[in-house]
Structure 1
Amino acid sequence: MYWAVLLIVAVVVLLQVHAQDNAANDKWGSVTAKDVHQDAQTGNRKPHIIFIVADDLGWHDVSWHNPKVHTPNLGKLATTGVILNQSYVMHICTPSRSALMTGRYPFTIGRQHGVLRPMEPLGLTLNHTILPQELKKLGYSTHAVGKWHLGFCNWKYTPTKRGFDTFYGYYNGAEDYFTHKRESLVEESRTNGRLIYHSIQATDMRALISIQLKCPKDSAVDGSESVQDECASRLGGYDFRNNTIPDFDVAETYSTYVYASYIEELLARRNASEPMFLYMPFQSVHAPLQVPGKYIEPFKYVGDHNRRTFMGMLSALDEAVGRIVEALKETGHYNNSIIVFTTDNGGQTMWGGNNWPLRGRKATLWEGGTRGSAFVHSPLLNNTGTVSNQLVHVSDWFATLVGVAGGNVTEGLDSIDQWAAISGNADPPRDVMIYNLDDSEGILGGIRIGNYKLLLGEQGFDEWVKPPEGLPKEKLIENYNKTEDITEMEHDIRIKENVISKKRRKDINNRKLKRKLRKKEKLKQKIKREKLVFQKRVSIKTDDNNILNENSPLIILKRVKRNKRQSSSPGQHLTVDHGEQRPFIVQAKPDVQVNYTKKINIYDSPRDRPSPVTFADLLNWNVEDLVDYKKLKLRVFNLKTDPTEHHDLANKNPSLVKQLLGQLLLELPRLVPPEVKPEDHRGNPRFWDNIWSPGWYK
């Protein structure tokens, strides 16, 4: 009897031990999102974070929205993860990356206006701790591979000084995919023996093409007398670094190959038990449109050359992502990884991108410029194969990723931890989002509350661009309520091509033609009325180290506001648009009188007031007057019933406009003026061995 009891006790103990072992072994095979948080907080096996950013990827540029696009690896990750159907980014590159890194709306840190230019003496604010720095505090190794575009005039703005243990990539916003050279087109003028540089942005494609025709590719900026007045030249430089050292070994190798190979080696040589933050902002699929020919072959049926090349670039990007995921699996990282994929802004339809059926494109606040293709994929999720319609802003990744790493940094941020909602364990935490606030070129802004979106100001390109490769033949159904069934949502918000009758199409085309003619006539009248407004003279060093004096020509800008913007950083500041306005040289005219101050008057009627040109002007108005003031362009859309922004509700529902506008005005005290400076020729690569280099600005 004694031995029987002892045997029973032994069996029970063995079974308990076996059960504990199984639980330990299975812990990371069937872990829930809650377990991720709890385990991170106790310091056990924090998840690896892999954050992939595609550049200029449009809504219609991924296979789960467009089956004609060949992205099988990304498609598999998306459909076996959680597709984020309402993931929003900023309208353009630098603002999006700034929001991601700081967890703040760009308008609160002066980075809302445009991209950082190659020789602009600025960078992402140093006043805040950014994402890799927070993750390093939590024990993560941090690695950045790809595009930086957050400033490099001083070493303190570069990745390895901002929390990344390693950096492998380039500093600028765009470059050649093979040579890794960035050629910044500039206009030169020689006045009184001085050589003056004026940057021309690549977004002005007519100017770019004109300059390419004027100057051969091998033209040099050598400061010699042979340089003709008003000649266009190139400031070319190499831009690829391994940490802080220029890496010439990768010259002539396609960048997507380079990044995939580097990451494979990085994963192979590190310990998978140590938590890692791998930030991968790919160069693809930003212009210039370049890819090895084999990737274009499957898309010969696409008539549009840009779109055909773009789709080939997508295939190369997808292949690289497949290689990286395979490397994660082979090195033991995958099962404990969270993979996030997003674009940085909407697709640029001028260069092959497509956002169909959304309105607009990159650099606008329309849905086509701000609603991004995104997903989360992880073996740690228990709700894979679903689509989430929760509202997510790019700034939210800061708090979300710090949260899964075991930290908590929400104070003072716009970022919201979305992990519980993404993993299906909580209701969506965000119902309000600011698209942007920028008044450097007139009032531009937007807010979303629930399903309603308000836009202020003229938003620029406002068309719906159909994909050149054609629309899918199958009928596509809009469905915004179901989040469980991937098959009903994977072709979200697309419209069958033949829904509109021929008569209806003819009516639409006639209206479009009339609208274009009206715009053309307005533009002619505007050009007649518009005069050049002189900026205050600024001191700019020339190549012979002299300063422009009172007899030197003025730098002027078209359509610039007369009040000079202030900034918290030292140095000269100009209100300049990165895409539309171009500085150039004219001789000073002594009879030109300029006022730099504006007298504030109190008007009896809103109709007597001048049009508000800055958000500060709006503070003198009440909401009712603003809604009634027709010169301030206000648009409202219900994005649940009208995600393609066809039906403006502003005139039909003024009370809704007041509610949305009132909420937006509450954000104005947080507005920091856009930080923009003229480019500094000391950053010219010819002074740095033809390499784009930091260290020329203190």
Structure 2
Amino acid sequence: MFLRVIVTFLLAFSVNANMLQAQQKPNIVVILADDLGYNDISTYGNKLVPTPHIDSLAMSGVKMLNGYCTSPICSPSRAAILTGRYQQRFGFEFQEKDAPIGKLSLLQEKKFYKRAHKEGDIIDLSRDSVVVPNGLPKDEITLAQVLKKNGYRTAAIGKWNLGVADYQLPDAKGFDYFYGFYAAAGLYALEKDSTIVDQHIDDILDKPTWFRRKYSALVRNGKPVDETEYLTTKFGEEAVAFIEQNKNDPFFLYVPFNAPHTPFQAPKDIVAKFANIAEPQKQVYYAMITALDNAVGKIINKLKETGLDKNTLIIFTSDNGGATYTTATDNEPLKGGKMCEFDGGIKVPYIMSYAEKIPAGTTYQSPVSTLDIFSTAVAAAGIASPVDKVYDGVNLLPFVTGEKSNVPHDILYWRNGYSKAIRKGDYKLYINERDKVEYLYDLSKDPGEHNDLSATLPDKVTDLKTELNRWEATLGKPLWKSRFHFRLKVRDRYYMFPT
């Protein structure tokens, strides 16, 4: 009897010790908004849309005042986040072209691929190996793959938008669990749902999504699913369920929301809170941000309920700036928005919370990049990055804690075909080769990019051009051509941007 008690005690001790050892590795939660502008949430100055849950992350951690993404459009930006590398290094320079897969038959898939093949996009049409060079290359390593190899449970919940070939899908890129859709956009609810407000935008980018008249093809681990719940809410609930199911093991939870990307749909009860706003598109847009904040709140509350908030690194950011062409946001005082390399298109809200590791309620001034998410996460997990890749991000933890006093990045770069930019210190050079314009700004004095200094500081222009050329020489060629050239009005004039 005594021996049995001792054995039972030792087994229990062993189980508890294993659980404790597992939880010594921090959980990693990356929450990604879609087209959320720098000033679209209240902690960054929005006075019309309360976002208390997202704000709470800033109150418990650090808010970056100069956080940048790597591209002013969704798909390339997300590629850089998951790989920790400038997406141009591996040819992911332009938006990944949607493939309408999911519930489609093989015949429909073949018709789509054959049509794309005529446009030079598809290089293999075999059923077993549909090679679509639109998306992550086979040899690119994601954060999920690195963490999974080191004992983490992994999940992606939301919008994928990184390719639809077998080797590009979430399960092939390190995720144990995926719930969401593969495309760039889709409805949040069935059109004309009596509980939902639908707001169409008179824009070429909005019309194709409504034409589908249904959700983008939703899947759970590759199998089609039907859904009736408002999608932003559903994504939050799926994230909560994953936390509950994996609370005894270290996990990496990537939640790439599609909110508040078009199409504009939001629950009526939330839209009603913005009845004082005159413009209907803004009412729905603000309600979508509120729904996003509510979903983030569910994730935060679940971490607190399980006690995991004490050992979880949480990062919240957006894939690019607000889409000004919807007229629902303007990114002011920043210039421009989604599609362009002015700061309105590439400067994003960026928050990190890590209990007892990052001082609560702090701000960080130096420029940082979403490239840094990969390096910060693997460093927090005590893992080395793969040695056969060039990584462009850095571990931000010693910078935001004050352990390091220098800056994470001396220079940040952007290139989207003929539209390019470089920031070195406080100076930023923007080049649009198609429009034949070059602008130099001193962001320390002119964050709104109003005053072009290129004529008065030609040596600075030359210096930044040299740095930009040096970086471009290290890049690969785009693996596919841009989809189209988007004509975007930025303040007083129109510019062309490839997507």
Map of 1:438 onto structure 2: 416
Cα 1:677–1:445 shift into 2, 3 Å: closer
C-alpha separation between the residues in 2 aligned to 1:403 and 1:329? 23
Residue identity in the other structure for 1:143: A
Q: How does 1:415-564 map to 2 (within 5 A)?
A: 415-439=393-417, 443-457=418-432
- After superposition, give the CA deviation of every residue in 1:503-553 in whole Å (9 maximum; x if it has no partner): xxxxxxxxxxxxxxxxxxxxxxxxxxxxxxxxxxxxxxxxxxxxxxxxxxx
TM-fit CA distance, 1:118: 2.7
> Which residue of 35, 44, 47 maps to 1:56?
35
- After superposition, give the CA deviation of every residue in 1:353-382 in whole Å (9 maximum; x if it has no partner): 331110001010000000001111121324
Cα 1:157–1:206 shift into 2, 3 Å: closer
Map of 1:84 onto structure 2: 64
Residue identity in the other structure for 1:88: Y
Map of 2:341 onto structure 1: 365
Map of 1:693 onto structure 2: none
Residue identity in the other structure for 2:183: N
TM-score w.r.t. the length of structure 1 is 0.57
C-alpha separation between the residues in 2 aligned to 1:237 and 1:261? 18
Map of 1:344 onto structure 2: 319
C-alpha separation between the residues in 2 aligned to 1:650 and 1:207? 34
Q: How does 1:99-114 map to 2 (within 5 A)?
A: 99-114=80-95
> Which residue of 146, 149, 154 maps to 1:137?
149
Map of 1:94 onto structure 2: 75
Kindly indicate whether the alpha-carbon contact (under 8 Å) linking 1:146 and 1:280 is maintained by their aligned counterparts in 2. yes
TM-fit CA distance, 1:446: 1.0
Kindly indicate whether the alpha-carbon contact (under 8 Å) linking 1:390 and 1:428 is maintained by their aligned counterparts in 2. no
- After superposition, give the CA deviation of every residue in 1:32-87 in whole Å (9 maximum; x if it has no partner): xxxxxxxxxx9870111110000000112000121321111111221231001111
Cα 1:668–1:257 shift into 2, 3 Å: closer
The alignment partner of 1:100 has SS state of helix
Kindly indicate whether the alpha-carbon contact (under 8 Å) linking 1:144 and 1:164 is maintained by their aligned counterparts in 2. yes
Map of 1:68 onto structure 2: 48
Cα 1:55–1:457 shift into 2, 3 Å: same
- After superposition, give the CA deviation of every residue in 1:458-491 in whole Å (9 maximum; x if it has no partner): 6xxxxxxxxxxxxxxxxxxxxxxxxxxxxxxxxx
Kindly indicate whether the alpha-carbon contact (under 8 Å) linking 1:106 and 1:436 is maintained by their aligned counterparts in 2. no
Map of 1:649 onto structure 2: 453
Cα 1:304–1:44 shift into 2, 3 Å: closer
Gapped regions of structure 2 (runs ≥ 5) = 1-20, 101-115, 117-131, 192-199, 484-499
C-alpha separation between the residues in 1 aligned to 2:293 and 2:65? 20
Kindly indicate whether the alpha-carbon contact (under 8 Å) linking 1:103 and 1:414 is maintained by their aligned counterparts in 2. yes
C-alpha separation between the residues in 2 aligned to 1:388 and 1:319? 26
Structure with max Cα Rg? 1
TM-fit CA distance, 1:410: 7.1
C-alpha separation between the residues in 2 aligned to 1:43 and 1:264? 20
1:155 aligns with 2:166: yes
Instruction: Quote the sequence identity (%).
Output: 32
TM-fit CA distance, 1:434: 3.7
Q: How does 1:3-18 map to 2 (within 5 A)?
A: none
Residue identity in the other structure for 1:147: K
Q: How does 1:223-302 map to 2 (within 5 A)?
A: 238-248=216-226, 250=227, 252-272=228-248, 274-302=249-277
1:125 aligns with 2:101: no
TM-score w.r.t. the length of structure 2 is 0.79
Map of 1:559 onto structure 2: none
The alignment partner of 1:645 has SS state of coil
The alignment partner of 1:322 has SS state of helix
The alignment partner of 1:445 has SS state of strand
Cα 1:84–1:637 shift into 2, 3 Å: same
Cα 1:238–1:345 shift into 2, 3 Å: closer
Kindly indicate whether the alpha-carbon contact (under 8 Å) linking 2:180 and 2:220 is maintained by their aligned counterparts in 1. yes
Cα 1:303–1:678 shift into 2, 3 Å: closer
The alignment partner of 1:142 has SS state of strand
TM-fit CA distance, 1:652: 0.3
Map of 1:165 onto structure 2: 176
Q: How does 1:587-666 map to 2 (within 5 A)?
A: 632-666=436-470
TM-fit CA distance, 1:237: 7.4
Residue identity in the other structure for 2:93: Q
> Which residue of 356, 364, 375 maps to 2:351?
375
Map of 2:474 onto structure 1: 670
Cα 1:204–1:126 shift into 2, 3 Å: farther
1:205 aligns with 2:217: no
Gapped regions of structure 1 (runs ≥ 5) = 1-41, 181-201, 218-232, 459-612, 614-630, 680-698
C-alpha separation between the residues in 2 aligned to 1:207 and 1:374? 26
Structure 1 ranges of 4+ moved more than 6 A: none
C-alpha separation between the residues in 2 aligned to 1:137 and 1:144? 16
- After superposition, give the CA deviation of every residue in 1:145-164 in whole Å (9 maximum; x if it has no partner): 11100011x22211011100
C-alpha separation between the residues in 2 aligned to 1:664 and 1:72? 40
C-alpha separation between the residues in 2 aligned to 1:150 and 1:72? 31
C-alpha separation between the residues in 1 aligned to 2:242 and 2:314? 17
Cα 1:391–1:243 shift into 2, 3 Å: same
Residue identity in the other structure for 1:445: K
- After superposition, give the CA deviation of every residue in 1:589-627 in whole Å (9 maximum; x if it has no partner): xxxxxxxxxxxxxxxxxxxxxxxx7xxxxxxxxxxxxxx
CA RMSD of superposed structures (Å): 2.6
Map of 1:597 onto structure 2: none
1:175 aligns with 2:186: yes
Cα 1:372–1:43 shift into 2, 3 Å: same
C-alpha separation between the residues in 2 aligned to 1:314 and 1:271? 28
Map of 1:414 onto structure 2: 392
TM-fit CA distance, 1:173: 0.8
Kindly indicate whether the alpha-carbon contact (under 8 Å) linking 2:368 and 2:409 is maintained by their aligned counterparts in 1. no
TM-fit CA distance, 1:644: 0.6
C-alpha separation between the residues in 2 aligned to 1:43 and 1:420? 24
Higher relative contact order (CA 8 A, sep 6+): 2
Map of 1:394 onto structure 2: 370
Kindly indicate whether the alpha-carbon contact (under 8 Å) linking 1:147 and 1:172 is maintained by their aligned counterparts in 2. yes
Cα 1:157–1:61 shift into 2, 3 Å: same
C-alpha separation between the residues in 1 aligned to 2:151 and 2:161? 26
- After superposition, give the CA deviation of every residue in 1:264-299 in whole Å (9 maximum; x if it has no partner): 222222233x21100001121110010110111121
C-alpha separation between the residues in 2 aligned to 1:447 and 1:678? 21
